[in-house]
Structures are given as structure tokens and as C-alpha cells.
């Protein structure tokens, strides 16, 4: 047992009440976030301003006393570090200079990479100085498949045609891109851990678009390589894998990648979660809409999760991020309910 509840859970110790944190817990539903966001001038500028990013990271901890702080950043900053042009447009999301062919895939330059993204490491160092010792620091990265999806599509997409064409047909070029992202992700996470991150979460936000026939090759295997290398460098680090939309493939993802805990989206049935919990700690998976709605619906959905999963190692979280329209009082009531 340690004085950090979430690390106990990741070591397969059942905690009552379970530790709590939320994906996108620092964000637009908080008025204090909106104030800093306006001062920063832009989303990327906020992510790369260590003082502001640190303050934003700490805001939900001050307000809700959650069990973990996840560094305020974005999974696509890694593309900026690799030399690609990246911008975020209000209402549209990320826009990236798209990878059209193999010539658009650079060789990995470690010095340039870290220099472009070093402010993220400084943010983590600042968080470490301020955060109470019992609250864990979570660093993160996007998994290669998901980052590649944005890079090939040039941003978000309705059908993700380009990444599927590369994954099915242009496999040699796609492997070069995935290998680049594996190497870059390992470097990025290593520096985050050296700066003070105690837990890592890998976000595979678009795992659900990968058909079963290629899921192992392009999602499980790259994740496994990253986990193995990070564990070689930092044997005590804990890694949570979040493969959103993986559906029935979540069992293979949990058992074959080497992760310490599996994050579940809201569509994973509780019977599947309970089965997984026999072998691995789980994280999730309240629907963010239930949190948005509040009231009896929120209480009912929360009780379903607690009653089904509180007898094993559980980190209470959402199945995706907090929505911007979420009332703060709903978050307060949810935390009270869990901790009571």
C-alpha cells in the first residue's frame, strides 16, 4: 500500500472508494479555464506555455480534490514536434499538413523533436513542485494508429478512408510512418516520466475504426512495443491503455499489449468490464452524457458501475472526456456519490 491511491489500484489493490479522475477534467466546463484560455491566445499556445498549462492542470484538483492530475496538452503536439504544421480551428478541430506519400515522412531527429516540445516537460516539472504528494501525475501520448489517422487525413474525418487504404494497401509506407511514431512516442513518454509523470496513458481514440483483421498488426503490436520499451527504461512506471471503440477486441488489447490497466469507453458492457477485472485493473466508464444530464440518471448510471466493479481494482472515470456544457454541480455530486 502507498499514500497514492491510484497507484495502489494500478498495483491490483482494491480501494474503497475507488480513486477518481476524469478525461478532459481541465477544460471548457470550468470558468477558471476559460479565463486562462482567453489570455493564452490559442490552444497550442496554452499547451506550450508551462506556467499557464500547469495552472490549468491543477485547476480541477483544487476544485474537486481528484486523485490524479493529467498534464494539460494534446495528443497531436507530437506531430508539431516532428516538424509538421498543426493548428486548431474553433468548431473544426485540428488541421495538420497531411502525409501524402513516403517522402512526407521525416527521419526522426531527437534533438529537434525534444526542442520543439520541451515546454511540455517543463509543465510536468512545475506540476510536480506544486501537486500534493498523494495525487498522481499522469503523462500521456496518442497511440501510433490514432496519430497516424490524423496525419494521413489532415485532421478529423468522417470515414478515415486514407488511413485504411494505407493500412490495407500501402503497408510498407504505413509501417515506416508507424515506426516513426513508435520511436517518437517512446522518446516523448520517456522525457515526461523523467520530468515527473508517475503514470502514462496511451490514447488510441480511433481504435474503433480498425477492422479486426488489422487490429493486431496496427494497434496491438505498436502499443506493445511502446509499453515494452518504456518498461525497460522505467520498470516501475504504470501504463493505462485506452482504445476507444475497440469493442470485442478490448480483451486482446488488454491481455496482449502489456498495459497495467485498461481504460474502457462507455459502450463496453459491465459484464465485459467485470470479466477483464479478474486479470487487470480497469478504468471507466461512465457515459459523459450521464454526467451532463445529472440528477437521477447520473446516480443510476454511477451505481451500476460501482455495484458491478467496486469489488475489484477500479479507477472511476468517464468513457470519454468531460463535455464543455457539463454543469460543475453535477461533477461535485458525482464525486460525493462515489466517495460516500
Instruction: Please state the residue numbers annotated as binding site for substrate.
Output: 24-28, 74, 150, 205, 320
User: Is the Cβ–Cβ distance between 296 and 310 less than 8 Å?
Assistant: no
Q: Residue length, the chain? A: 340
Q: Can 84 be counted among the known catalytic residues? A: no
User: Is the Cβ–Cβ distance between 245 and 208 less than 8 Å?
Assistant: yes
Residue among 74, 183, 204, 287 flagged as catalytic: 74
307-337 as b/e: b if 16+ CB within 10 A: ebbbebbbbbbbbbebeeebeeebbebbbee
Q: Can 304 be counted among the known catalytic residues? A: no
**How far is the C-alpha of 78 from the C-alpha of 156, rounded, in Å?**
16
CA 303 to chain centre: 25
DSSP line for 287-332: -HHHHHH-HHHHHHHHHHHHHHHTTS-EEEEESSPPPTT--HHHHH
Residue among 24, 126, 253, 260 flagged as catalytic: 24
E strand or H helix at 138: strand 136-142
Residue among 121, 150, 188, 253 flagged as catalytic: 150
Closest CA to 123 of 77, 181, 65, 184: 77
Cell numbers 447520473 label which residue? 298
200-217 as b/e: b if 16+ CB within 10 A: bbbbbbbbbbbeeeebeb
Q: Can 150 be counted among the known catalytic residues? A: yes
**How far is the C-alpha of 30 from the C-alpha of 36, rounded, in Å?**
10
Q: Can 244 be counted among the known catalytic residues? A: no
Closest CA to 53 of 234, 171, 261, 195: 195
Binding site, by residue number, is 24-28, 74, 150, 205, 320
Q: Can 24 be counted among the known catalytic residues? A: yes
Burial of residue 276 (number of CB atoms within 10 Å: 0-12, 13-18, 19+): buried
Residue among 29, 33, 37, 253 flagged as catalytic: 37
Known catalytic residues are 24, 28, 37, 74, 150
Amino acid at each position: 500500500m502507498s499514500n497514492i491511491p491510484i497507484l495502489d489500484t494500478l498495483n491490483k489493490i482494491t480501494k474503497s472508494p475507488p480513486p477518481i479522475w476524469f478525461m478532459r477534467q481541465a477544460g471548457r466546463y470550468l470558468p477558471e479555464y476559460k479565463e486562462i484560455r482567453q489570455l493564452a491566445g490559442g490552444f497550442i499556445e496554452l499547451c506550450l506555455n508551462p506556467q499557464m498549462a500547469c495552472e490549468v492542470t491543477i485547476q480541477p484538483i483544487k476544485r474537486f480534490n481528484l486523485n490524479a492530475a493529467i498534464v494539460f496538452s494534446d495528443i497531436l503536439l507530437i506531430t508539431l514536434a516532428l516538424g509538421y504544421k498543426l493548428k486548431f480551428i474553433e468548431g473544426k478541430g485540428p488541421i495538420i499538413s497531411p502525409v501524402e506519400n513516403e517522402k512526407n515522412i521525416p527521419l526522426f531527429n531527437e534533438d529537434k523533436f525534444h526542442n520543439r516540445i520541451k515546454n511540455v516537460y517543463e509543465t510536468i516539472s512545475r506540476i510536480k513542485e506544486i501537486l500534493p504528494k498523494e495525487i498522481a501525475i499522469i503523462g500521456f501520448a496518442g497511440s501510433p494508429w490514432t496519430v497516424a489517422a490524423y496525419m494521413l487525413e489532415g485532421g478529423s474525418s468522417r470515414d478515415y478512408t486514407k488511413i485504411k487504404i494505407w493500412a490495407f494497401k500501402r503497408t510498407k509506407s504505413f509501417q515506416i510512418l508507424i515506426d516513426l511514431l513508435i520511436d517518437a512516442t517512446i522518446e516523448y513518454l520517456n522525457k515526461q516520466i523523467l520530468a515527473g509523470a508517475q503514470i502514462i496513458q496511451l490514447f488510441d481514440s480511433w481504435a474503433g475504426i480498425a477492422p479486426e483483421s488489422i487490429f493486431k498488426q496496427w494497434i496491438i503490436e505498436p502499443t506493445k512495443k511502446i509499453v515494452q520499451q518504456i518498461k525497460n527504461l522505467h520498470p516501475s512506471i504504470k501504463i493505462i491503455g485506452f482504445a476507444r471503440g475497440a469493442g470485442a477486441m478490448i480483451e486482446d488489447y488488454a491481455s496482449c499489449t502489456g498495459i497495467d490497466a485498461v481504460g474502457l469507453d462507455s459502450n463496453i458492457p459491465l459484464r465485459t468490464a467485470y470479466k477483464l477485472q479478474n486479470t487487470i485493473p480497469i478504468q471507466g466508464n461512465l457515459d459523459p452524457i450521464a454526467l451532463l444530464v445529472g440528477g437521477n440518471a447520473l446516480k443510476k448510471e454511477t451505481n451500476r458501475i460501482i455495484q458491478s466493479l467496486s469489488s475489484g481494482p477500479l479507477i472511476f472515470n468517464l468513457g470519454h472526456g468531460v463535455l464543455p456544457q457539463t454543469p460543475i454541480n453535477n461533477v461535485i455530486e458525482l464525486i460525493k456519490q462515489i466517495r460516500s
